[in-house]
Structure 1
Amino acid sequence: MADAENATRAPESDAQEDAAPAAPAPVASTGEIIKLNDVDVYISKPVDYPHAPSRLLLLLTGGTGIKSTNNQIQADKYAAEGFLVLMPDMFGGDSAPAGTAIADDSTSFLEQLKIKAVEVTKSFLIDMWLARVTEERVLPILHKVIDAAKEQYADAIKQGDGIYAVGYCVGARFVLLLAKKTQAAGEDEESGGVKTGPFIKAGALAHAASVVPDDFLNLSVPLSLVCVENDPLFPDSVRMAGEDSMSLASLEHEVSVYPGVPHGFAVVGEYQDNSIKDAQATAYEQMLQWIQTH
């Protein structure tokens, strides 16, 4: 069910050299992969669901996707807090290229050239993959899952008076897009109409990637942001533009910037550095409390 070889950190961080990837989490996931409207979805339920009321949570992953053990355990953590979690394969089976570990045990010039060549190739493959993760491709998949959830899990949506969402890395950007009042890229192909948002009640996102300032325009739901200090995948300029847009719109929001952590740190995984472990736990509590209280 799970792919234990998928890296803990989002693959878009593989192009960075400042932190080693975390090891897979040393426990097994408890949910399962099902089909919703022909989309593969990892579902994780509270142990007492449906006998006890639960709220519906949409979890949008980084590029490692729904078969990553760590992403699955992340979903299970929210389920243990009473959320019915749906984690869709928003990439249509096209997860990001897996990272390749390089053991640098030689200082020879030739070895250094080989290492740099692999790094450049990895970065190129990741950039090519990110270019395929577009609104036009991903939003229709998410809308299919949301439409199916409204039918099959109407009780959970009613319990929470809407759908909650958390997103990590590239998935974080789509939390923003689902939080907009309108989203033209979510066109209804059958009717030719345009789906209107917002599609979620509240959202929390961690170390976003591929976000542009315009993604913060027209937002209409409360949002919590977990950010990494000096993150090239979510530059300070974009973050500050986003903060300005949300403030000007009088949108309820919070932004926390975590220093000394790698991009992808908020996803479940084992880091040897205790400061990263502590930050990971704090980020989870920030996101959990936000969706619990909104």
Structure 2
Amino acid sequence: MSSPPLATTAPESDAHEATPPSSSSPPLCDNCVSDRPTPPNQTTKGELTKLAEIDVYISKPPTYPSTPSRLLLLLTGGTGLLATNNQLQADLFAQEGYVVVMPDLFGADPAPNSKTVEEIAAETGDSNSFLDLFKIKAAETAKSFMIDMWLARHTEEKVLPLIKKVLEEAKDEFADAVASGGGVYAAGYCFGGRYVLLLGQEKEVVSSGGDDEEANKAKTEGPWIKAGALAHATLVSTNDFVGLKAPVSVVSVESDPLFPDEVRTKGEDLMRESGVEHEVQVYPGVPHGFAVVGEYEDANIKIAQATAFDQMLKWIQDH
């Protein structure tokens, strides 16, 4: 049986596939591991603290707790917890009435942010010489290797339990917000986008109870969120849509090699067949990572960024 289509081929899938990741399909792009310039005159409003002994950034509405708010779990891309733009993204949702909990998915180990090939080429001067071209190619290879190794350190088996641990603690800490929204909401970007799908799944689990037949019966777990929204997700496979129960909104980039049309359309088919409420919007002419706070010179990208936020916000507000 052939493996399901993957948005990328990551190290965690190597155990199931003999072939290494293709260089034509990078596991993460520059926009996944590097922040755009922060928009001018913006400062973060939340605080860094801990939940369940895990570092988190928490941003609250200005009138909380006197005004009822909902609880939102925000899952970042590879730039991680301390990236100013990710914190500003959390603040945007907080301004709209959400208590936002953004966990450090990577244990103080954000994705490697090496120099871009363009910067290396500029430093070497004449990029047409054989030596300079060799340096550029070597830098590309080193960068890809570093990201592959980073992904191998942050697999689903490590990240998902961490998220669930923070989620359970947050539900106790902000029980009023959970009650106000009738559950927990989630928004995810790039790396974090896939985990919105995983949290929205219902799964059968079998616990080993020895000879106890009742204990050995399959039980269901999840979904862990009421509704979710994800933008330009990475590392998604079609299997991530199987068992999905929570309604989801998907922000996708046109012709995105990190979330290929084949994976997206098959995911839509699976959601439609299983009756999962969903919406999918494909944004043309924008780079992967565009929906995260960050400054762009192109006015069309700025407009798309604001539109994507409105799409995700409206979806969770309506659910």
User: SS where residue 280 of structure 2 aligns?
Assistant: strand
Structure 1 residue 238: Cα displacement: 0.8
- Larger Rg computed on CA atoms: 2
**Contact 2:54–2:166 under 8 Å retained in 1:** yes
**Paired position in structure 2 for 1:141:** 162
**Paired position in structure 2 for 1:204:** 229
**Paired position in structure 2 for 1:150:** 171
**Contact 2:230–2:251 under 8 Å retained in 1:** yes
**Contact 2:112–2:147 under 8 Å retained in 1:** yes
Q: Distance in 2 between matches of 1:291 and 1:284?
A: 11
**Paired position in structure 2 for 1:162:** 183
Identify if the C-alpha distance between structure 1 residues 51 and 238 changes in structure 2 by more than 3 Å, giving closer, same or farther: same
Identify if the C-alpha distance between structure 1 residues 123 and 195 changes in structure 2 by more than 3 Å, giving closer, same or farther: farther
Question: In terms of mean alpha carbon deviation, does 80-89 or 21-30 score higher?
Answer: 21-30
Amino acid at match of 2:127: T
Q: Quick one: which of 195, 198, 201 aligns to 1:177?
A: 198
Structure 1 residue 24: Cα displacement: 2.5
User: SS where residue 102 of structure 2 aligns?
Assistant: strand
User: SS where residue 166 of structure 1 aligns?
Assistant: strand
Structure 1 residue 147: Cα displacement: 1.1
CA offsets per residue over residues 133-161 of structure 1, 9 Å max, x none?
A: 32210111111111111211000000000
Moved over 6 A (4+): none
**Paired position in structure 2 for 1:57:** 72
**Paired position in structure 1 for 2:283:** 258
CA offsets per residue over residues 68-95 of structure 1, 9 Å max, x none?
A: 0000000000000000000001112221
Question: In terms of mean alpha carbon deviation, does 213-222 or 135-144 score higher?
Answer: 135-144
**Contact 2:52–2:165 under 8 Å retained in 1:** yes
**Contact 1:41–1:87 under 8 Å retained in 2:** yes
Amino acid at match of 1:227: S
Q: Distance in 2 between matches of 1:181 and 1:157?
A: 20
Structure 1 residue 55: Cα displacement: 0.2
Identify if the C-alpha distance between structure 1 residues 194 and 135 changes in structure 2 by more than 3 Å, giving closer, same or farther: farther
Q: Distance in 1 between matches of 2:283 and 2:168?
A: 35
Amino acid at match of 2:38: P
CA RMSD of aligned residues (A): 2.2
Structure 1 residue 114: Cα displacement: 1.4
**Paired position in structure 1 for 2:127:** 107
Identify if the C-alpha distance between structure 1 residues 212 and 34 changes in structure 2 by more than 3 Å, giving closer, same or farther: same
**Contact 1:25–1:69 under 8 Å retained in 2:** no
Structure 1 residue 119: Cα displacement: 1.7
Question: In terms of mean alpha carbon deviation, does 164-173 or 227-236 score higher?
Answer: 227-236
Identify if the C-alpha distance between structure 1 residues 29 and 15 changes in structure 2 by more than 3 Å, giving closer, same or farther: closer
Are 2:35 and 1:24 aligned? no
Structure 1 residue 15: Cα displacement: 8.6
Structure 1 residue 128: Cα displacement: 2.0
Structure 1 residue 118: Cα displacement: 1.1
Amino acid at match of 1:168: Y
Question: In terms of mean alpha carbon deviation, does 22-31 or 226-235 score higher?
Answer: 22-31
Structure 2 unaligned regions, length at least 5: 1-26, 206-217
Structure 1 residue 132: Cα displacement: 2.7
**Paired position in structure 1 for 2:102:** 87
Question: In terms of mean alpha carbon deviation, does 120-129 or 273-282 score higher?
Answer: 120-129
* Identical residues among aligned pairs (%): 57
Question: In terms of mean alpha carbon deviation, does 169-178 or 124-133 score higher?
Answer: 124-133
Structure 1 residue 229: Cα displacement: 1.0
